[in-house]
Chains A and B, each alone.
Chain A
């Protein structure tokens, strides 16, 4: 898609590509290729390396420690990180909490929390969903009760990704029970080591531990834990979810995995001779996926080009989560068909150098069922498109 980039942007790509290759330790790239859930230590290490270069919070405004890159430059940087198999940054700190704090938080909150998000020293989790408040988030029941010098938070959070190693939670709680559900919520910063916080692992179908249930039993937070204004939490939370539509499409990871899928199909033997990549049906599905992936990349570039030129993105921004999430699943679905029997065995890595890669595909395939569910299910997204874009 070279014709969609300017010469300056192509030069920028060469520059960041060379830099990332020089900065990225080989063992971290290898771990990223293998596993879907990285350890805190691995993510923190890459976070620190990027921070030393000033690139960890690359999409933040320059005044807050970001780079001042254009949206297209950020797109290029993220594409190059994915292509080099750089570990993903923990999404909550850099992508969700950072922008929330520099948009709605106090100067004191920014000074206290932003530097440690950039450096990877502190990890965050998101306390939004609850057992009885998933898609219907506004019905959440966790409460924050005003006491002298602070708040007492009481409730239960569900599906808390990375909660087991997070230092802090950005927590949505009800502060006003007597108004309509959306109007009575506030956003708090909560220390995960505070008395009353207990964390229970939830094992997902890929066999891994990345999500948790978090019980908040009379957890006390100080007055300055409130983000922005009282009872404005719903507005802030929605801002964030909207902010992250493009990130949620995960287009760069998809491009990288698609390239790896093509390589995989070139190695796995086909029944009756040759390799899977030679089978006409597989080739056509690969080509069909390539077209869909390119359409998504072009759509995202359309949106970012508008932003780069100072224009608000159009309604097409709402579609990228729906398309991007389905595409992530389609890639791993095809990988499972390429792997066949090799994809369904729970095996130790043993001596076979390809076993780790195969296990990675299977685990990703299973865990990827989540991408059409999280950050607003695709059904919720389609309802939003129908109502706000099509006016139905």
Chain B
């Protein structure tokens, strides 16, 4: 938030570069046209060439030392094109954990991360399933939906008792894949007394709990950034449509009832942007503030953000309902984001408990 003009100019360059790249190489396509096309591994390497996966690493680890705000800018751009490639964990979360006190377990992978050969998926527990638990070298339990787990080379697992970095090819986990309503793939992973090699331990005990909270808050930040990008693209598409579509002899956007619905959406989108800015700044600050900021942003996303996206469908009418038009997919992206990493009610419950 408090950025000098020079930093802002650099932010803008980074954002514009990412926007051009994504719109050229990965523009939004309707799901039927998109399924089965493209080579995921090539996509990762292409993004790695842009420096995305090394940007958050400190310079002494071969990175560019970008702050969280910059990583969130890239994730917003990914959200704008409803990008399928699940880059959040590799771009935002893993580098920050690797740079911290418990980083050594992750460091042998960093070269592969920077090259786009190592693809992380964040794996967290679910309060509706058997808890993920690490004890005496063994991992047990069932995960929440882990976006990109099927295609990942490594799973960053936040379990009770440990944070682990598991080689996906070497770990015997039962994997149940599902396509999400926004078109991305996610998996539920089941671990049944899986022996974890020492080299996979990132942190254990109290340190693991601290690290798991940080990873969860970062996941919320990344998810909100992606959703905000999607929403801002959706609001832009909707206002374009309202300027051009004519009914009763005039543009739809000239009707005040429609204008006020969109003004409400705009207010909500800006509120979400403000909370994300706070969260981005709080990531490097006091953990309790970071947690409050993450909860606030996730609650606002699930309530006001989703309402704003829903209103875009309302004012575009049948077009918003059509699978071949992007507005409905923006709504599905936000609905997906609202459900991952704790719903608004979940976070509200914890915020209310103080």
Residues of chain A whose beta carbon lies under 8 Å from any beta carbon of chain B? 1-4, 6, 280, 283-284, 286-288, 290-292, 294-296, 298-299, 301-302, 305, 309, 311, 316, 319, 322-323, 379, 381-383, 385-387, 389-392
Complex Cα–Cα for A309 and B3 (A): 8
Chain B 259-282 near chain A by CB (<8 Å), digits 1 or 0: 110111011001111110110011
Q: How far is the CB of B342 from chain A (nearest CB, A)?
A: 14
Contact B274 A302 (CB under 8 A): yes
Q: Tell me which residues from 201 to 249 in chain B have a Cβ below 8 Å from any Cβ of chain A.
A: 235, 239, 242-243
Chain B: which residue is nearest A302 at the CB level? B274
| B32 contacts chain A at the CB level, 8 A cutoff | no
> With A3-B278, A305-B1 as given contacts, are A390 and B286 in contact (CB-CB < 8 Å)?
no
Q: Which residues of B contact A299 (CB under 8 A)?
A: 270-271, 274
Per the bound structure, the CA–CA distance linking A308 and B281 in Å amounts to: 18
Given A295-B272, A392-B254, A392-B258, is A4 in contact with B266 using a C-beta cutoff of 8 Å?
Answer: no
Stretch at the interface among B36-44, B47-55, B345-353: B345-353
Decide if A287 touches B348 in the complex (CB within 8 Å).
yes
Residue B177 lies at the interface, judged by CB distance under 8 Å to chain A:
no
Decide if B349 touches A294 in the complex (CB within 8 Å).
no
Q: A1-B289, A3-B285 are in contact. Are A323 and B267 (CB under 8 A)?
A: yes
Interchain nearest-CB distance for B338 vs A (Å): 14
Do B260 and A379 touch across chains, with their CB atoms under 8 A apart?
A: yes
**Cβ of B273: which chain A residues have Cβ within 8 Å of it?**
302, 316
Please measure, in the bound complex, the distance between the C-alpha atom of A330 and the C-alpha atom of B270, giving whole angstroms. Answer: 19
CB A73 to nearest CB in B, in angstroms, measures 13
* Chain A residues within an 8 Å CB radius of B348: 284, 287-288, 291
Q: Are A309 and B281 in contact (CB under 8 A)?
A: no
Q: Is the CB of B353 within 8 A of A298?
A: no
Q: Which residues of B contact A286 (CB under 8 A)?
A: 352
Residue of B nearest to A285 (CB): B352
Interchain nearest-CB distance for B327 vs A (Å): 15
Q: How far is the CA of A279 from the CA of B272 in the complex (A)?
A: 28
Q: Which chain A residues lie closer than 8 Å to B267 at the CB level? A: 319, 322-323, 385
Which of B277, B348, B352: most chain A Cβ within 10 A?
B352
Cα-based distance from A4 to B243 in the complex (angstroms) = 37
Q: Which residues of A contact B266 (CB under 8 A)?
A: 319, 385, 389-390
Interface size bucket, B side? 35 or more
In the complex, A70→B34 CA distance in Å? Answer: 51
Partner of A390, one of B251, B262, B300: B262
Main secondary structure of the interface of A (DSSP, over half): helix
A383 pairs with B274, CB closer than 8 A: no
Of A2, A311, A392, the residue contacting B285 (CB under 8 A) is A2
A387's partner among B259, B270, B272, B277 (CB-CB below 8 A) is: B259
Q: Please name the 9 residue pairs, one residue from A and one from B, whose CB atoms are nearest each other, closest first.
A: A386-B259, A392-B253, A382-B263, A298-B274, A3-B285, A287-B352, A283-B352, A295-B271, A299-B274
B278 touches A4 (CB 8 A): yes
Contact across chains for A291 and B296 when beta carbons are under 8 A apart: yes
In the assembled complex, B303 has its CB within 8 A of some CB on chain A: yes
Given contacts A3-B285, A392-B243, contact A385 B263 (CB under 8 A): yes
5 A-B contacts, Cβ less than 8 Å apart? A4-B1, A284-B352, A294-B278, A295-B271, A390-B266
Chain A CB within 8 A of B16 CB: no
Chain A residues, CB < 8 A from B259: 382-383, 386-387, 390, 392
Instruction: Name B276's closest neighbour in chain A (CB-CB).
Output: A298
Q: A283-B353, A295-B271 are in contact. Are A288 and B303 (CB under 8 A)?
A: yes
CB B117 to nearest CB in A, in angstroms, measures 35
Judged by a CB distance under 8 angstroms, whether B101 is at the interface is no
Q: Report if A382-B264 is in contact (Cβ < 8 Å); known contacts: A287-B352, A288-B348, A291-B351.
A: yes
- Give A89 Cβ to nearest chain B Cβ, in Å: 27
Q: B349: which A residues are within 8 A, CB to CB?
A: 284
Q: A382 to B352: give the CA distance in the assembly, Å.
A: 31
Q: Chain A CB within 10 Å — which of B263, B281, B282 has the most?
A: B263
Closest to A386 in B: B259
Question: B260 and A294: CB pair below 8 A?
Answer: no
Question: 1/0 per position for B12-56, CB-CB distance to A under 8 A?
Answer: 000000000000000000000000000000000000000000000
B5 CB within 8 Å of chain A:
yes
Chain B minimum-CB-distance residue to A387 = B259
Report the minimum CB–CB distance from A391 to chain B (whole Å). Answer: 6
Asked if B284 CB lies within 8 Å of chain A CBs, one says yes
* From A295, A309, A385, A387, residue with most partner B Cβ within 10 Å: A295
- Would A294 and B275 be within 8 Å (CB), given that A3-B286, A299-B270, A392-B243 are in contact? yes
- 17 further contact pairs, Cβ within 8 A, besides A3-B289, A295-B271: A2-B285, A2-B286, A3-B281, A4-B1, A287-B299, A288-B303, A294-B296, A295-B300, A299-B274, A305-B1, A309-B5, A319-B267, A322-B263, A381-B263, A383-B260, A390-B253, A392-B239
**A322 shortest CB reach to chain B, Å:** 6
The reply on B4 being an interface residue by CB < 8 A is: yes
Residues of chain B contacted by A301 (CB below 8 angstroms): 1, 274
Q: Are B263 and A383 in contact (CB under 8 A)?
A: yes
Q: How far is the CA of A391 from the CA of B241 in the complex (A)?
A: 12
Taking the complex as formed, is B2 at the interface, i.e. its CB lies under 8 A from any CB of chain A? Answer: yes
**CA–CA, A392 and B262, complex, Å:** 9
Enumerate chain B residues within 8 angstroms of A385, measured Cβ to Cβ: 263, 266-267
A53-B278 Cα distance, complex, nearest whole Å: 33
Closest B residue to A326 using CB positions: B267
How distant is the Cα of A295 from the Cα of B266 in the complex, in angstroms? 14
Q: Once bound together, how far apart are the Cα atoms of A284 and B5, in whole Å?
A: 40
**Contact assessment for A390 and B239 in the assembled complex, using a CB-CB cutoff below 8 Å:** yes
Let me know if B263 and A298 touch, CB within 8 A.
no
B residues less than 8 Å from A2 (CB atoms): 285-286, 289
Residues of A within 8 A of B3 (CB): 309
Q: Which of B256, B267, B286, B289 has its CB near the most chain A CB atoms (within 10 A)?
A: B267
Inside 8 A of B300's CB, which chain A residues have their CB? 291-292, 295
Give the docked Cα–Cα distance between A288 and B282 (Å): 20
CB A303 to nearest CB in B, in angstroms, measures 9
Contacts of B264 in A (CB 8 A): 382
Kindly list chain A residues whose C-beta atoms are within 8 Å of the C-beta of B5. 309, 311
